[in-house]
Structure 1
């Protein structure tokens, strides 16, 4: 056993592996283990100390190392396979395992993305893995990339990986499934630039259409969870009060030309009480006669309650964001705070 994992019980190591697998991979294994074993794993999770990143990877590596020796996975009656799994998960859990291989071949998209990464990034990551784990990952690279990555690894680890690659046994599907999870969570997800992450952009745009109190509460929660992603969300967020800083004069005119009149009138009426300086900015950058007509229409509207105002502002923000996505208007980045 790795010294990194020495403080974790077999049940806790099993818990680390199980909770890190995809649902379609973990569920069949949990069913094979049975209710008593899963209760022990649940207890292990409840008593689990803080598990470092190093320990998570070590648990994966230990599990993969055992599975790498199996050509066809787990089968009832194969004493050697059960002995190997016992070393990784403990005898109590393994005694519940019977039946055919319960894992499925992982989707290929993760490995395709892995193969397209910069060889230096791949080499740095693979160089940190156990020999058999490194070999499994290298084996999933395009053939012409394997020597490039090996050449960038430390000589000692590269030699060990080559020795593992030369073995005739194919990696078990379970080993590939766990390795895929490692690649995705530890390398691919971490390689995404938050500023270009579609989810970040979507959340930022959504928050801009919400009432201010709800938006600020959500941002506070996001900052507690992940400051980097929260900063990226703030950068994509369009708040109605920021329009004077982000919307050039020509784009103001495009907004009045492209957005429906009802949306503009209701939005401007709501802004007038929430952020009068924004209303003045928008109306001050269109023709005087048009601005006067809008003011007359706004004054003729009945009084809005707060919910109606929030929806009206959100509707106007959505329209502006839509124009920005289509390239009809330009949104400037927020100036950096001094």
Structure 2
């Protein structure tokens, strides 16, 4: 054999592929996919695996072509043999089914299995209303409350502090100044613990508390019925009766709980005929001040028109008057519930 032929034969001989372990194979595949322009979601891996993968990619330096081909072919064969994959564990399944099963069902599964909700817990906490957040941190330490106040919307935080007892609000405000050194991991754990606390609460049949439900019923009751029931409640449970009185809003409360500037909003949600009937029926000592309050806080021209219409209407029956006054109250309640107006906290029932 000539020297040229020997040299050519040597070039035809492929060097053996390099022996690599599973961690190195993973690093090779990730590097190869990234080189080909694929978006590899490495951030979804556990942090320890992210660290190991990064370390492997930094230590391999150079891989020969035969080794690359062997690793890629092995990876491709495994993909071809895979018919269907399922998310890993209950946490993975819940993540896949997010938005496809009800929040209550997901919460029950987490409670039974001990799996915490995925994602940023603070996103869920920021969506809670002020009352829910206040109840959530009511028995928490000042430091925990300070972290929560620091992570939510500024307006919502201000509202929370305004509804807390003065001394606790001051302590929490001071504690905010001490949160500068808290680590992101600690903040994440606090958020996760607060979410777990919410999910551990027993499922309730009624969304609204008893006070609100009874208050809503009495708001729609005739005055005689409402007074009799309140007297009965007071005899059974003075504290509960007192809370119910706070939840009640009737026509007589308009003068004391509605801001004069908000009366114009009432005209948009209650038709003139209903309002005139209510004003005509408000003739006793309890309801007349509210009728005068409404007339005093609309334009003089419109007030004169209403007074003229009331005179033309004449006397209205108690039933018609109470029905119209209930419609007026329902309109004000709707404005308050939508946040368009704010009722004061005067509680005389």
TM-score where L is the length of structure 1: 0.41
TM-score where L is the length of structure 2: 0.40
Q: Highest CA radius of gyration, 1 or 2?
A: 2
